[in-house]
Structure 1
Amino acid sequence: MKNSTTKKFDVLGISSAVLCLIHCLVFPLITILPIGLSHNHWIDLLFASIGIYAVAKITKNIDSKSLRILLWSSILLITACVIITLVFHYHSNFIYLGALGLILGHLINFKNHKH
C-alpha cells in the first residue's frame, strides 16, 4: 500500500512540475499577443504548493539522502523564485532549474519503486 501511495505522489509531482514548466515557458510568449492576458502569480503559488505537498509526502518514505536533497532543494528553489516574483515582480530563470530538478527527482524515485 505504501509503495502505490508513493507512486501516486510521484505522478502528482511529475505532473505538477511539467505543467509548471510549460506554464513558465509558454505563458510569457502568449502575453506578447494582444489578447489581454496578464500573468497571474497565484498560479505559480498553486504549483509550488502542490509541489511542496508531493515532496513532503514522498520524502517521508525514501531512504536516499541525495534524492531527498534533490527534491527539497528543487522545491525550495521554485518557492523562492515564486516569492521573488510576488514581492519584486522579477521573474527569475532559476525556476526552470527547480522544475527540471523536481521532474528528475520524481522520475528517479518513480523508477526505484519495487514492483
Structure 2
Amino acid sequence: MAKALQKIVGLGQRLGTSVVTQGPKVAGDAVQWTRPRLSKFWYYARVELVPPMPSEIPAIQKGFSEVVASARSGKFMNLTTREAFRNTLVCVEVAFWFFVGEQIGRRSIIGYNVKSDHPEPKYI
C-alpha cells in the first residue's frame, strides 16, 4: 500500500514539475499557433458580419426578387449539385443564427417554460 502511495506521489511530483517547466513553452506555442488564425478570423468577421449599408439595400431587394422569380419559374431546378449544396448551407446558417438569437433573447438554452392547464400524468 505504501509503495503504491509513493508511486502516486512521485507521479504527482513529476507531473507538477513538467507543468511548471513546460507550461510557458506550451502556452507560447499556443499563442503563436492561434495568432495568425485569429487575425484571419477577425478580418473576415469585420467584412462579413457587419450590417448592410443603406446603399446596399437595393441590391438586397433585387436579390430577393430574383429568388422569388426563380421559385416561380422553376429555374432553381437547373442548379448544379454544388450550387444547390451551397444554397442549402446558407439556409442552414440562417436557421442556426436564428436559433442562436432566440437563445440569446431567452437568456437560456432551454425553451420557454409553458404552463399547462392539464394535470401531469401520474406515470411520469
TM-score by length of 2: 0.26
Over alpha carbons, which structure has the higher Rg?
2
TM-score by length of 1: 0.27
Which structure ranks higher in relative contact order (CA pairs < 8 Å, sequence separation ≥ 6)?
A: 1
